[in-house]
Amino acid sequence: MHIDFDYSDIRFYDDGDYAQVIQRLAYEPEMRRVVRFLMDGNIEDKDVPPYLLSFKNVHDFQMNFIIKVIKKVQKNSIEDLTSDGLENVDPNKAFLFLTNHRNIVLDASLINLVLYNRKIEGFKSTAIAIGDNLLTIPWVRDIARINKSFIVKRGLGVQEVLESSKKLSQYIRKLITEDNTSIWIAHREGRTKDGNDSTQAGLLKMFQMSSKDSFVENYGALRILPVAISYEFDPCDSSKVNELVTIANEGKYEKGPTDDFNSMFSGLMGEKGRVHYSFGKEITFDDLRALDDNIPKNEKIKLLADSLDHFYHKHYKLWPSNYVAADVLNGNKVFAEYYTADDRANFEEMMKSRTKRLEGDIDQLQKIYLMMFAYPVKNRFKDDDTYQFSF
């Protein structure tokens, strides 16, 4: 099923767009701050435009500017960046990297850095799916699209959603199957805020809108490869707790005009401790046949979502902060072997510090804070009757 869509409003920028876009960015005042951050302030404002204009194309800009910025973020806010499962990623193939979602900018940026750090000749960066709600500022939109981000449109009417989803689905399939370009996309709309990673079936349904092939052929052609991302600490923890408490008490949370930008900035610059990426194996045609047992398509999609969640839950790297939170909520020390007394004291002090600045019942605030960190432990051991959880 192929429709000749015009992708100009969603595609990432290529070398044909580069000269015009880099010209805009070079003279954008906010880019001075980005360049000064990279250079530790050792650059004059007048030298920023010629510096940015020195990059000749998209690849040059990514390899010699974007990667350096992400490395600087890593140096300033990440204690250690580790990974496993890279042997599952054939550098000559394109994959649909489907990950859990914790950090607006870094989930995708760090997957590119991890792959770049393999030092494989001919490295091609991964395309990135990003919601247009995050791109309301023109220079942010420019730097995202020049960094191989394509746009997922939000807030559309019912009919518009259908057409937009078909276009997005076909664009994703084109990148994978025709352009041999890998893609990062989150397994759900919006970050997981309560710590309970859960794949949205609607996202998986969107993938299959671009093909009339069988379930197996449709999803197999996309070469889905799950990746579990784990952060020791969350620099956006306070804002997430505030949102969750508001939803619990009032039924909904209305975002302010600067909420998304603030979350992007805090997620980039705030302390994250250790970060780990666990790359799974490609979901093969044989794997999909095992799900394809003459059951309705919606049930197959649910089974696929469940299998992805099983991977995220089993491969999320659990940190002392996660185990401490689980024990505090359970009122015991079942997981005490996984953390020290200092780990527990430091985590409890961090929780008190992050929640005392928020309005509301302190017990409710702290319980929600603890659950954010404890849920990955519950998900890891939920099938093991040895462990009981009170939350």
Residues 150-186, buried b or exposed e (16+ Cβ, 10 A)? bbbbeeeeeeeeeebbbbbbbbbbbbbeeeebbbbbb
pTM of the model: 0.96
Q: What amino acid occupies position 100?
A: N
Q: What is the pLDDT of residue 297?
A: 86
Average pLDDT over the chain, rounded to whole? 97
Q: At what angle are helices 341-356 and 237-250 packed, to 10 degrees?
A: 60
CA distance 315 to 276: 10
Q: pLDDT for 49-58, tens place per residue?
A: 999 999 999 9
CA distance 263 to 236: 6
CA distance 365 to 88: 40
Q: What is the pLDDT of residue 1?
A: 60
Q: pLDDT for 230-269, tens place per residue?
A: 999 999 999 999 999 999 999 999 999 999 999 999 999 9
| Upper half-sphere CA count for residue 279 (Cβ side, 13 Å) | 19
Beta strand 273-279 pairing with 78-84: parallel
Q: What is the pLDDT of residue 198?
A: 98
DSSP 200: -
CATH superfamily membership of 15-23+77-235+270-315: Glycerol-3-phosphate (1)-acyltransferase (3.40.1130.10)
DSSP 151-181: EE--S--HHHHHHHHHHHHHHHHHHHHTS--
CA distance 26 to 63: 17
Q: pLDDT for 68-102, tens place per residue?
A: 999 999 999 999 999 999 999 999 999 999 999 99
| Upper half-sphere CA count for residue 28 (Cβ side, 13 Å) | 21
Please name which of 110, 153, 161 lies closest in space to residue 129, comparing C-alpha atoms: 153
Q: pLDDT for 156-175, tens place per residue?
A: 998 999 999 999 999 999 99
Answer for the pair 326, 377: CB distance below 8 angstroms, yes or no.
Answer: yes
- Let me know how long the chain is: 391
Q: What is the pLDDT of residue 292?
A: 77
Please enumerate in sequence order all residues whose Cβ is within 8 A of that of 173, keeping only pairs 6 or more positions apart, or say none: 207, 210, 211, 221, 222
CA distance 278 to 280: 6
Residue ranges per structural domain of the chain: 15-23+77-235+270-315, 320-381
